[in-house]
Chain A
Amino acid sequence: MIVRPHSRWRDAALWGRLFFGSLLLMLVVALPWQRSLAVASQGAPNTSAVNSTWGTKYLSPVALKLSPDGRRLYVVCEGDDSVLAVDTKTRQVLARLRVGHRPKGIAISPDGKSLYVSDEESDAVTEIDAETLKARRTLAVGWGPVGLATDHSGTTLFVANTLGNNVSLIDLQSGREIKRLEAGHYPEYVALSRDGSRIYVANLLARIAPNDQPPVSELTVIDPDRQMVAARIDVPGVLQMRHIAELPASAGGYLLIPFMRPKNLNPLVQIHQGWYLTHGLAVIRPLISRESGSQSYQVAEVLLDDIDRYYADGFGAAATPDGRWALVTASGADMVSVLDTAKLRHLLLRTPITQREALANRLDSASQFATQRLRTGRNPTDAVVSPDGRLAYIANRMDDTISVLDMTRMEMASTISLGGPKDISTVRRGERLFFNASYSNQGQMGCATCHPHEGLSDGLVWSLETPQLGRDVVENRTLFGIDGTSPFKWNGKNPNLETQDGPRTAMYIFRSQGFNSGEVNDLVTYILSLRLPRNPHLARDGHLTDTQARGQAIFFRDRTNAGALIPPQDRCYYCHAPLTHYTSRVLMDVGTATPYDTIHAFDVPQLEGVVMKPPYLHNGEALEMEDIWTKFNPDDKHGITSDMNKVQLNDLIEYLKTL
């Protein structure tokens, strides 16, 4: 066995435990090449060489912002790392700017002179001159920034960091981060209240919670003056909260936030015709006490689905300036719902508080306030309404267009093409299928419904195939970086993704014909193209901290603290083999089965990106990584770990976070 105890490089060191010297030599040669690729892909935003590369990538518009006068529409395109300025009168693209990697969100300063675009994979925000569309500077923020907004004065920028589960506060004068406030789980969207007194942060994922409890999501409320968290509002039973629209006080002052509402605790095979998840809207009403001035919040939930047709994957939300109308895009249904907010308010007010909870499950409500369902382009994401309330713009991610909605006539007026390749590649076809819910019964869901943010695990435990309540529940798994990790599913029954995404998905999930073989091929090609986001726990040069290096030694150890030899099958790297994405790709019984599991051996999960996908173990019982060893390995069947002290366990976890 080859041991390199002094190596402090994560990737280099893991090779050090390989079994054959010749293989080691090969890997040593391969490693620098791998690193050079990684470094090359992490360049700074480039504004100079833009024109030479335009047109080679799909644009995938995901975020919109209008100038205060409504004459310019700014479009963030995550696919080709760009921001576009569109003249809303001529409906032509005026300018393009290359920004950082995978831009996701946009904010505009109160005076309309500056744009701020979050570069998710660069952990940065690009500040842009809104007039010239030239980049001014790059602001360092937290991990995986997406949503952002300035405060009322435009002096502080609030940036939601998805991977950090926090919000960066940036002083826009100095460009420096002042502090980070902890948000909920995977914060994505940020909005400043109309009166400027609150910053709202919608968290995409529910709090990690026991696997027999329904999810609870959080709307984080920040006081921008005090720059502190003012409230954490529970939104029960839902997840995937997206964009936030606030109605003016004259229309009730409600916050409207699209969500997905799962019924993941029910055995799915027992549910007739699907209906194990629905799509709706959180309606949150801020209340201010006249006596104390303190603020509280009333939370109600309504569904946007109809009984016979679903509007999957709510995403964008916007309201007219007078609050008369609200728009919610259904990104999986290629539709936008037009909501009459007066009727919505009426429904809420005449529903007794004791029956409000029932509203969250009623499929006959939306017909009372959803006055129009209009077709958009493919995969509509963000939506904005012009300052005069006459037009709305909707970004269609999967066909690189903007739909223009005439709000006075409530019909689509035109479509703006943003450019991008005209040929549709296999991966792009697969990507379109991934976001498309029309293949499932009644359009209830697409792949993206349970794998939000382009492949993430939704963090839920699902009862997929066993009819008994509470039996064989399994934790959802990520789709990032799964190439080479077959078989799939916790029971390892699917030898490849074609099986997983073809007949099994059609039978158990979609309850429909599903995809045809060509579509399956496209979809699988796309899924296998999904790569893990950069791991912020690992230094960009791969160097390990002291703690991580100690944890690495524990991961690769072959002796206990007392010096006893650890049998090979009880070592971490035996099952979590580094050469195969830290999975041995076989079923293993590590003592984690419960009386409610039919089988005892489960697929060994890959560990790459493990820090980003709690909960852990096949049934999601381990809410934190520590739980795996402190609660669920009493007999040392999940590796010999009982001799470790707390410092060693912390070290091991810090190393695992780097994978």
Chain B
Amino acid sequence: MFLERTGKSSSCWAVLRMAAFLILATASLAAQGSSLYTKWINYTPANGFPKGEVYCVTVDGDRVWAGTRDGLVLLENGSVKKVFTTKDGLAGHAVMSVAVDKQTGDVWIATFGGLSRYSGGQFKNYTNLTSGLANDLVYGVAVQGKYVWVATTAGVNRLDTYTGTWSIFNESNAPFEEPWTYDISVTADRIYFAVWGSGVLSYDPEHNSWKPYSDPDGEMELVLYRNQGLIHNVVSSVSYNPGTKTFWASTYFGLSSYDGRNWHNYLTKDSGIVSNFVNAVRSRGNEVWACTQKGLSELNTSTNTWTTYQPDAKTGRGKILVTHPDGRTERIGSSTTLAHNYILNIAFQGDDLWVATAQGLSHGILQPHKEQ
């Protein structure tokens, strides 16, 4: 492990300022328990994992479900236990999202061939032709009580598992500019949807009402006014953090958050996020994890510190970039790293991370950080 410091000082004042920053940086690392994800275990074809993209990952206690280009992978105790494919009954090859119903234990699987439910060792499939599913291209799935919410290219579905009733929400009955829905985040009383071209939509089931959150400057890929609203209407994912009562929205043009009063936008030009092309975002506690095309960036909202994890293509080692609130950065190396820098999704298992990348699944283990 090594540490580099960047930032130039050309005067005493600058030296003093650097010293202050160092103190702050040390304090911030201490606030993080002085730990970093420097240990990574990767799952690739070399150890029985399917080849290619891992689109999603979901943690269910000791089990980890990973959706790949060619099936659904179940890992138990760090080992690949089973790779489910269409031959096993899965609705489609490409698995885009997995949700575990904490009440029933049923696993709901979004595929590009429809929706699957895995229960008691058997699959049951729902398709556009054989059920009320709006479209077989299913990007997201989430469970809220007895309801299963499904994000498809033709809008959002809700399945009442008690009655078998399917409902469809799209531009005909809800404020969708586009029906193509990517992701779902459920809370106790709201459901948030990430909609391609339609921003973020929230649904209040008690009052059967919808609320849209869209980019105030429309389709423009520029941000005219900082923190004015959602950064762009092409939203790839949404994550509600109940602790901070904030939802986070990832777009291909930056990251946005909304706490009910204020918007905050995060771009490479004014934050430590490694790329504006964000495939997914997940937030818990004071952590926000942005899955970008250039690596995995974490924002600690308590310290306003960004930490980005990337593999170094040249050395095969890991690069960790810590960006402090004042813009000063630290570079830390690690002997192991993510399977790929194109990050598609992330899930938490205690302190551990499970990261879906374009070339395998990565298991990040928090390690004490030894400062030099």
Residues on A lying within 8 angstroms of B by beta carbon are 142, 164, 166, 179-182, 220-221, 226, 228-232, 536-537, 547, 623-624, 626-627, 630-631, 646-647, 649-650, 653-654
| Smallest CB-CB A-B distances: 3 pairs | A228-B105, A232-B120, A229-B120
Name the residue of chain B whose CB is nearest to the CB of A221.
B120
Contact between chains at B122 and A646 (CB < 8 Å) = no
- Report A-chain residues with C-beta under 8 Å of the C-beta of B119: 182, 229, 232
For residue B105, give the distance in angstroms from its CB to the closest CB of chain A: 3
- Report B-chain residues with C-beta under 8 Å of the C-beta of A623: 130
Interface residues of B in 101-135 (CB under 8 A from A): 103-106, 119-122, 128-132, 134-135
**Other A-B pairs, 9, CB within 8 Å; known A646-B168, A650-B167:** A142-B162, A164-B162, A166-B162, A180-B161, A228-B105, A229-B119, A547-B167, A630-B129, A647-B173
Q: In the bound complex, what is the Cα–Cα distance between A626 and B163 (angstroms)?
A: 16
A-B contact pairs, 30 of them (CB 8 A): A179-B103, A179-B104, A179-B146, A180-B161, A180-B162, A181-B104, A182-B106, A182-B119, A220-B120, A221-B120, A228-B104, A228-B105, A228-B106, A229-B105, A230-B120, A231-B121, A232-B120, A232-B121, A536-B163, A547-B167, A624-B130, A627-B129, A630-B130, A631-B129, A647-B168, A647-B173, A650-B132, A650-B166, A650-B167, A653-B132
Contact between chains at A231 and B162 (CB < 8 Å) = no
Residue from B128, B134, B161 within 8 A of A182 (CB atoms): B161
The tally of CB-CB contacts under 8 A between chains A and B is 67
- Report A-chain residues with C-beta under 8 Å of the C-beta of B131: 624, 626
- Report A-chain residues with C-beta under 8 Å of the C-beta of B120: 220-221, 229-232
Contact between chains at A646 and B134 (CB < 8 Å) = yes
- Report B-chain residues with C-beta under 8 Å of the C-beta of A232: 119-122
Contact between chains at B128 and A229 (CB < 8 Å) = no
Q: In the bound complex, what is the Cα–Cα distance between A649 and B154 (angstroms)?
A: 14
Q: In the bound complex, what is the Cα–Cα distance between A147 and B146 (angstroms)?
A: 22
- Report A-chain residues with C-beta under 8 Å of the C-beta of B130: 623-624, 626-627, 630
Interface residues on B, range: 20 to 34
Q: In the bound complex, what is the Cα–Cα distance between A473 and B172 (angstroms)?
A: 42
Check if B170 is an interface residue, CB within 8 A of chain A.
yes
- Report A-chain residues with C-beta under 8 Å of the C-beta of B122: 232
Interface residues of B in 170-188 (CB under 8 A from A): 170, 172-173
User: Considering residues B154, B166, B172, which has the most beta carbons from chain A within 10 angstroms of its beta carbon?
Assistant: B166
For residue B153, give the distance in angstroms from its CB to the closest CB of chain A: 12
Contact between chains at A180 and B146 (CB < 8 Å) = yes
User: Considering residues A166, A228, A653, which has the most beta carbons from chain B within 10 angstroms of its beta carbon?
Assistant: A228
Q: In the bound complex, what is the Cα–Cα distance between A232 and B122 (angstroms)?
A: 7
Q: In the bound complex, what is the Cα–Cα distance between A181 and B120 (angstroms)?
A: 11
Contact between chains at B168 and A650 (CB < 8 Å) = yes
Q: In the bound complex, what is the Cα–Cα distance between A630 and B106 (angstroms)?
A: 28
Q: In the bound complex, what is the Cα–Cα distance between A232 and B131 (angstroms)?
A: 22
- Report B-chain residues with C-beta under 8 Å of the C-beta of A164: 162
- Report B-chain residues with C-beta under 8 Å of the C-beta of A547: 165, 167
Q: In the bound complex, what is the Cα–Cα distance between A285 and B127 (angstroms)?
A: 35
- Report B-chain residues with C-beta under 8 Å of the C-beta of A231: 120-121
Contact between chains at B106 and A229 (CB < 8 Å) = yes
Q: In the bound complex, what is the Cα–Cα distance between A179 and B146 (angstroms)?
A: 8
Contact between chains at B104 and A654 (CB < 8 Å) = no
User: Considering residues B128, B131, B170, B172, which has the most beta carbons from chain A within 10 angstroms of its beta carbon?
Assistant: B131
- Report B-chain residues with C-beta under 8 Å of the C-beta of A182: 104, 106, 119, 161
